[in-house]
Structure 1
Amino acid sequence: MPAYHSAYNNTEDARAVGNTAVLPIKSKFRGPSLLITDLNAADIVDEALDLFRANSLFRNFEIKGPADRLLIILILFISDCLAKLSASKVPPNQQEAYKLLNTFSVDAFPIPGDANFNLNAHFAPAGNRADGEFLRQYLIQVRQELAARLVERLYADGTGKPSKWWMAFTKRRFMNRSLGN
């Protein structure tokens, strides 16, 4: 059974930095991303959250387009977020989790082309310094939005504790990799 790929691979007007897609998102955070105004429309962040649990079971992932590369980065970031939340002995409440993951999302991180980026074999570096900085700012915005939506899903049941159905995936590694944060 093959892994699930991004539905945005065939998007014609998407900008690419290196070979990674820069797609519009619904966001309340500032950044360079084009914004989707329709709140009911799905975006790459929703897709990453929807596909995370299924794709985290796969060790191999065939990249079929630039949106798949962004999907890989987002799925690995979700995995790192869950590991960050499970690191404490007492599970954080929703507000603490939001603060922790928001801080984690803006911390320094490598981008494709950096020497310490773990997936450089699958990603092309940005063409120039300005494109690299644009990609970093875009990824910060996407990571912030992803962290906020992840916390909403983790605490959706109203118990004040993260969902065990999500936290069960803390030990699973998509492609046996990590972003190294």
Structure 2
Amino acid sequence: MQSVDVHCTWRSSIAMVYHSSFSDDDGITKACGCPLLPLKTHIKGPAPASDSDKADIVDEAITFFRANVFFKNFHVKSLADKLLIYLTSYINIALKRLESCRTLAVGTKAIINLGLENVPVPGEPGFPFPGLFTLPESEEEAELLRNYLKQIREETSGRLLNCAYRANGTPNKWWLAFAKRKFMNLVIL
């Protein structure tokens, strides 16, 4: 009987999604219901600066990616979880682009090209999660969110390259293998 209880406990703990630790929404600027969380970055944009010794949402997204990508559902507990979902999807797209790149130089070029693509906001064609964020109330709000998403995507891309490639510039198969996974059953092109 005890082995059944242990099995059930193990099974229930395996089905837990990793949520963001940024659950306090007080004092955080929002655009379209997306929190503009602080980032450790040198890239220009609307994100507030974060302490370099503290983890930010990009660190969480990369850390939790390989676990969260296995889930078909993601229960949102805070606004930061919405941003974590968006970043997990973006990391999946970036890994798909890096999958065929055999060197860090080629991978960097692919990521730069991904960063140059148009960043859609809610209500525009190509936005991956139509109900995740609210529609912009003004053009200024749409541009604020677009600029934040562009900044956070660029920062995520730079940090992801450090994971996807080893120090000698060769691909890290333990990361690139996750390009084949479908996060929340989304087919990413």
Give the TM-score of the pair, scaled to structure 2.
Answer: 0.86
Give 1 or 2 for the bigger CA radius of gyration: 2
Is 1:19 aligned with 2:19?
A: no
Say if 2:123 and 2:135, in contact at 8 Å, map to a contact too: yes
**CA displacement 1:103-132 (0-9 Å, x = unmatched):** 212311321222432311232112211010
Q: Which residue number in structure 1 is paired with residue 54 of structure 2?
A: 41
How many residue pairs get matched? Answer: 175
Query: Could you say which residue in structure 2 is the equivalent of 1:65?
Result: 78
Q: Does 1:113 align with 2:123?
A: yes
Q: How far apart, CA to CA, are the structure 2 residues paired with 1:160 and 1:150?
A: 13
Contact 2:17/2:68 (<8 A) preserved: yes
> How many Å apart are 1:92 and its aligned residue?
3.2
> TM-score if structure 1 supplies the norm length?
0.89
Aligned equivalents of 2:163, 2:168: Cα separation in 1? 12
1:136 aligns with 2:146: yes
Aligned 8 A contact 1:113 1:123 in 2: no
Distance (Å, rounded) in 2 between the aligned partners of 1:46 and 1:74: 10
1:161 is the counterpart of 2:175: no
Cα-Cα RMSD: 1.6
- Which 5+ residue runs of structure 1 have no aligned equivalent? none
Partner Cα separation in structure 2 for residue 7 and residue 99 of structure 1: 32
| Correspondence 1:95 to 2:95 | no
**Greater RCO, 1 or 2 (C-alpha within 8 Å, sep 6+):** 1
Higher helix proportion (structure 1 or 2): 2
Name 2:65's counterpart in structure 1. Answer: 52
